[in-house]
Amino acid sequence: MANTRATRCTFIPPWLTERVGGPGQVLLDEALRAGRGLGAGPEPRPAAVTEGAAWTVHDAGSTTDLPGEPARSAGEPATGDVAVDEAATGIEATLAMWAEELERSSYDGAGAHVSLTVHYGTRYDNAFWDGTQLVFGDGDGEVFERFTKPVDVLAHEFGHGVVEHTCDLVYRDQSGALNESVADAFAACLKQRVLGQEAADGDWLIGEGIFTPSVQARALRDMAAPGTAYDDPRLGKDPQVGHMDDFVVTTEDNGGVHLNSGIPNRAFQLAAVAIGGTAIAGAGRIWYAAITGGDVPRDSDFATFATATIAAAGPHAAVVRDAWAHVGVEAAGAVGAPVPDPPGQVAGVLRVQRSGGFAGRTETAEVDLDDTDEPGLRDLVADAGIGSDDVGGDQTTKPDMFLYSFTLGDHTVRVPEHRLTASQAELARRVLRRNEM
């Protein structure tokens, strides 16, 4: 049931990109897209696989070339490179949890070799699953630490791989928020397992330690109390919601997948604590049975997913039903956030927006093409095909990857990160860098 579309799942949500992202990040994202083919550069090299090894960590050497050079494989000793060894420890623990608790062998259930890449790019503020491997940046050192530092970041991205190979939830609107939430749920299970905690003892923080000490934050998300993970002068207040009364209808961040994932996150946390014992042995097994049981369609909304978990809960069905009811999700279902079709009128103001990523940040900049003397910008807009009805195509992204929107007048084209042409990537870079001027 694997999804073969070449889309990616990234860790940073768009509202943090708006506050933290700069020209260096935009340049690196452009390099990522160029390096992934689609007419903009060479195809990535196949990951080097050590025969018989369950996983291999590669070192990109601060480049955007994937997978990078092999640095450590299963069975090999520590290297002394902190990021390499953190990734190795994390993937060992993650594979062990899935195998020992849920009898699942790797993300595909068939023992697929896991390829990981660290030291991706320079000061890259993200981690992602691209359908092939797990990739981690080193962070900028000012707002973000290494993305290998919190083990639940790795477990979250691995979880996206599991979702892709089970119910393959579409990464948009409520199904996309569920995709994010399932990844968070199993990330929390892994963190608590590593710490030897039961569900009632866990802090339910996702990405604890991902921020530098200068940031006023406990973590990136709080599953027990969505919207309370951080409150910082630079980043603002955590905007995630935890109840259907506060459901956010938006076209940004693939329909608010990182914002609204707080609702099913809270339901999972409540169920896990109420069931008792470890999160993975209680609610974890129920959620896993739901995503593998055939009752969760790709476009599932919260109510449909809730029904599947209740059906899979056995003697805990009433507890799970109560958990969903506590966050406002009932059998009648809830309405997702549709993305309007872009109209076709062309005008002179170009607006570029980048949203998504693990932190769910959004960055936006505009330029009036009739009032700028920037060399070659008009030609670049033409080369990028902005304003054409033939541009855009499949807008599906994998969880946590960036989505770019180009608006010229009343016409909007949305292009997933991996589908940007070289012209579109350069156009995004040049317009978004205006935020730093």
Instruction: Give dist(CA 36, CA 32) in Å, integer.
Output: 6
Residue 142 annotated in active site: no
Q: 221 forms bridges with which residues in the sheet?
A: 206
Q: Which of 157, 252, 363, 417 is catalytic?
A: 157
96 three-state secondary structure: helix
- Please give the DSSP secondary-structure letter assigned to residue 360: B
* Mode of pairing for the β-strands spanning 133-137 and 114-120: parallel
Q: How many CB atoms lie within 10 A of CB 329?
A: 27
Instruction: Give dist(CA 195, CA 426) in Å, integer.
Output: 44
Closest by CA position to 272, among listed 335, 209, 181: 181
Q: Which long-range contacts (CB under 8 A, 24 or more apart) does 196-199 make?
A: 197/278, 198/276, 198/277, 198/278, 198/279, 199/269, 199/272, 199/273, 199/275, 199/276, 199/277, 199/278, 199/279, 199/282, 199/283
Instruction: Give dist(CA 426, CA 137) in Å, integer.
Output: 21
Give the Å distances, CA to CA, from 66 to 35, 94, 133, 201: 8, 22, 9, 39
Closest by CA position to 123, among listed 70, 177, 73, 64: 64
Instruction: Give dist(CA 305, CA 391) in Å, integer.
Output: 33
**How many CA within 13 A on the CB side of residue 135?**
31
Closest by CA position to 166, among listed 286, 54, 297: 297
Q: Which of 165, 258, 316, 411 is catalytic?
A: 258
Q: What string of H, E and C letters represents the secondary structure of 251-311?
A: CCHHHHHHHHCHHHHHHHHHHHHHHCCCCHHHHHHHHHHHHHCCCCCCCCCHHHHHHHHHH
From the number of C-beta atoms within 10 Å of its C-beta (0-12, 13-18, 19+), residue 379 rates as: exposed
Residue 157 annotated in active site: yes
Q: 406 forms bridges with which residues in the sheet?
A: 352, 413
Distance, CA of 120 to chain centre? 16
Q: Give the H or E element holding residue 349.
A: strand 349-356
Annotated active-site positions, please? 157, 258
